[in-house]
């Protein structure tokens, strides 16, 4: 895995991909597709997005290779393109939906410890979004999101 600070091209590609995720209707559609393959009518019913806007957003998701389609007679079925897309969407749901999981046994990683030298300059009591001394639960999504990029 290339660290983004070392590769401007990789950083630009990651930023472009994140722009696709950063539109609320597209994120809703992707989240809806986590559960199962769906057709346009199912997605519209589940998300409340109107037909014209939904078609436009699905086209953007297809162009970005975030969804795949399957035609069955007159119906077009949509599914997430791969496990990486699913992981990214689950990660965002975890990060922004407030869900947390228990931390693995053992000491907190150095980046999460308040004594880490990188903690300097960060507001008192917080490092990396985790309050100092509160390392009993971590957001699974943060690590997963980093693996996708």
Taking only the tens place, the pLDDT of each residue in 68-100 is 999 999 999 999 999 999 999 999 999 987 555
pLDDT in tens, 103-148: 445 554 444 444 434 434 444 443 344 433 333 344 444 444 545 5
Quote the pLDDT of residue 86: 96
What is the four-CA torsion angle of 140, 143, 144, 149, rounded to 10 degrees? 160
Question: Within this chain, do residues 71 and 112 fall inside the same structural domain, yes or no?
Answer: no
Query: Do 29 and 57 contact (CB within 8 A), yes or no?
Result: yes
**Which domain-ending residue is among 29, 59, 81?**
81
Tokens describing residue 123 = 């507001």
Question: Within this chain, do residues 76 and 88 fall inside the same structural domain, yes or no?
Answer: no
User: Where in the sequence is the domain holding 140, given as residue range(s)?
Assistant: 84-148
**Rg of the chain in Å (alpha carbons):** 19
Quote the pLDDT of residue 112: 41
Quote the pLDDT of residue 116: 39
Question: Within this chain, do residues 97 and 140 fall inside the same structural domain, yes or no?
Answer: yes
pTM comes to 0.65
Quote the pLDDT of residue 2: 77
Question: Within this chain, do residues 13 and 58 fall inside the same structural domain, yes or no?
Answer: yes
Report the CATH number that the domain containing residue 49 is assigned in CATH.
1.10.10.10
127 in helix, strand or coil?
Answer: strand
Burial class (CB in 10 A: 0-12, 13-18, 19+), 29: buried
**Which domain-ending residue is among 54, 81, 108?**
81
**Which domain-ending residue is among 30, 62, 81?**
81
* Domain count across the chain: 2
Question: Within this chain, do residues 10 and 74 fall inside the same structural domain, yes or no?
Answer: yes
What number is the average pLDDT over the span 35-42? 95
What number is the average pLDDT over the span 12-25? 94
pLDDT in tens, 40-70: 999 999 999 999 999 999 999 999 999 999 9
Question: Within this chain, do residues 72 and 39 fall inside the same structural domain, yes or no?
Answer: yes
């Amino acid at each position: 895995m290339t660290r983004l600070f070392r590769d401007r091209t990789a950083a630009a590609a990651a930023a472009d991909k994140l722009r696709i995720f950063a539109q609320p209707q597209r994120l809703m559609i992707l989240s809806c597709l986590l559960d199962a393959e769906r057709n346009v009518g199912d997605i519209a019913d589940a998300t409340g997005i109107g037909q014209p806007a939904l078609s436009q957003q699905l086209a953007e998701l297809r162009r970005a290779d975030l969804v795949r389609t399957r035609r069955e007679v007159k119906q077009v079925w949509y599914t997430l393109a791969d496990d990486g897309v699913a992981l990214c969407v689950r990660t965002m749901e975890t990060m922004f939906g407030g869900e947390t999981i228990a931390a693995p046994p053992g000491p907190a990683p150095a980046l999460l410890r308040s004594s880490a030298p990188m903690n300097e300059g960060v507001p008192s009591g917080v490092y990396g979004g985790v309050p100092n001394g509160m390392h009993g639960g971590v957001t699974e999504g943060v690590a997963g999101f980093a693996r996708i990029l």
